[in-house]
Amino acid sequence: MPERAIMHMDLDTFFVSVERLLDSRLNGKPVLIGGTSDRGVVASCSYEARKFGVHSAMPMKMAKQLCPEAVVIRGNSANYMKYSDIVSEIVREAVPLFEKTSVDEFYCDLSGMDKFFGCYQYGTELRERVIRETGLPISFGLSENKTVSKVATGEAKPNNQRRILLGDERPFLAPLSIQKIPMVGDKTYQTLRNMGVSKIHTVQEMPVELMENAFGDNGVTIWRKANGIDPSPVIPYQERKSISTERTFDRDTIDIVKLRGILLAMAENLAFQLRRGDKLTSCITIKIRYSDFQTHTQQCRIPFTSADHLILPRVLELFDKIYNRRMLVRLIGVKFSHLVGGGYQINLFDDTEERINLYQAMDKMREKYGDRAVVSAAGMMAKSIGRWNPFNGDAPPLLANRRQ
């Protein structure tokens, strides 16, 4: 089997680096990006801030206590997506096969290119081109597989590069913390620590059966990754442009309560699909087909997001604008378009820690029990009380009547 050459590239402190491109006064200063209120959370932070113990997803109030001299910036997702797209195009032009796993992270399959260029030299030149054409710092790791390359990138940072030769994977990984292995989260790490495991070397020496007994199939995967074994391929990058869903009724309806409730349920499900696929949308479209088969659409642009509380109110607003014929409806639909890659951290600029925890809990239940396992109270209320908008701050009509 031919030797593989997999390069992992990661833009260093991406959000902070973009902000510094736009304002050089931020250079060398501790920078926090995220929700600017005390209830907000940190989306990204500079290395200068990390020295004080600050990290992403930390409550902003705590971060400011740890690093009171930090510059706090709300952030602009449109700017970050712009630079992410620029880097994506550079990579697309330079390599035969690449996978974009997030807004700032790429895998490139350079297998076979050593016959013509030398993979490490080619990766070096690509990294230099990104820095030269964008001004952004970027690091890369190069090895035989995705796991080792990703870990190597982390060890190369900031703004550097590292190559792990074939056969050196286990010695390279051995002295590192078990947390360095991708897919080892806080819960798994704590379980491993309770087992007396802190370094990758310990997992390398453990029987695979012990890891399987402790963690099931995930334990086998962790053991293989710890031993530098990862045959997973680089998946060709194709940006999905839109997701949508429609509902055709068995009988045409004019029931506004039903229509609004179904629209909200569909939009909630699509938003969950966005978060599950690490996608963000910036365009919402509502479609209505009447009983005479005339079809009307209404759309609006929004800041990039995958958050229910930002999407659902716009869905209701669009429906109120488009449904004006007072005719029987045959079909309704929702579409999210202008999709871009980007994990939910993009939305941390506005979110509170409580809201993020809520979304994560709801999405975990949907992953385990199905997409329809959890329905927000807003969607249920909209179904039950008609034209009340649960996002405008008003009390529901029934509740308001009880207070009178």
pLDDT profile of the chain (404 residues), mean per 10: 87 95 96 81 92 90 94 85 90 92 92 79 96 97 96 96 95 96 89 94 95 93 96 82 86 90 91 83 92 91 86 93 85 90 51 63 64 53 41 37 32
- Amino acid making up residue 391: F
Task: Please count the CA atoms within 13 angstroms of the CA of 404 that sit on its side-chain side.
Answer: 7
Q: Domain check: are 76 and 140 in the same one?
A: yes
In a domain, 161, yes or no: no
Per-residue exposure over 136-158, b if at least 16 CB sit within 10 Å of its own CB, e if not: bbbbbbbbbbbbbbbbbbeebbe
Residue 321: φ, ψ to 5°: -75, -40
Q: Domain check: are 46 and 96 in the same one?
A: yes
Report whether 297 contacts 337 (CB < 8 A): no
Q: Domain check: are 180 and 206 in the same one?
A: yes
**How many CB atoms lie under 10 A from the CB of residue 319?**
21
Where a domain ends, among 90, 115, 145? Answer: 145
In a domain, 348, yes or no: no
Q: Domain check: are 262 and 231 in the same one?
A: no
Report whether 170 contacts 148 (CB < 8 A): no
Residue 45 DSSP one-character state: E
Q: Domain check: are 85 and 19 in the same one?
A: yes
Kindly report the CATH number assigned to the domain that includes residue 134.
3.40.1170.60
Kindly report the CATH number assigned to the domain that includes residue 382.
3.30.1490.100
Q: Domain check: are 277 and 314 in the same one?
A: yes
Q: What is the pLDDT of residue 359?
A: 66
Strands 6-11 and 105-109: antiparallel
Domain of 190?
167-238
User: Alpha helices, DSSP H only, in 23-96?
Assistant: 47-50, 60-66, 77-94
Catalytic residue among 48, 105, 144, 353: 105
Q: What is the pLDDT of residue 403?
A: 31
Per the structure, how many domains does the chain have?
Answer: 3
In a domain, 107, yes or no: yes
Distances (CA, A) of 208 to 143, 200, 215, 290: 23, 13, 11, 60
- Map residue 281 onto helix, strand or coil: strand
Q: What is the pLDDT of residue 25?
A: 96
Q: What is the pLDDT of residue 203?
A: 95
Strands 279-290 and 242-253: unpaired
Has 105 been annotated as catalytic? yes
Q: Domain check: are 250 and 232 in the same one?
A: no
In a domain, 100, yes or no: yes
DSSP string, 127-157: HHHHHHHH---EEEEEESSHHHHHHHHHHH-
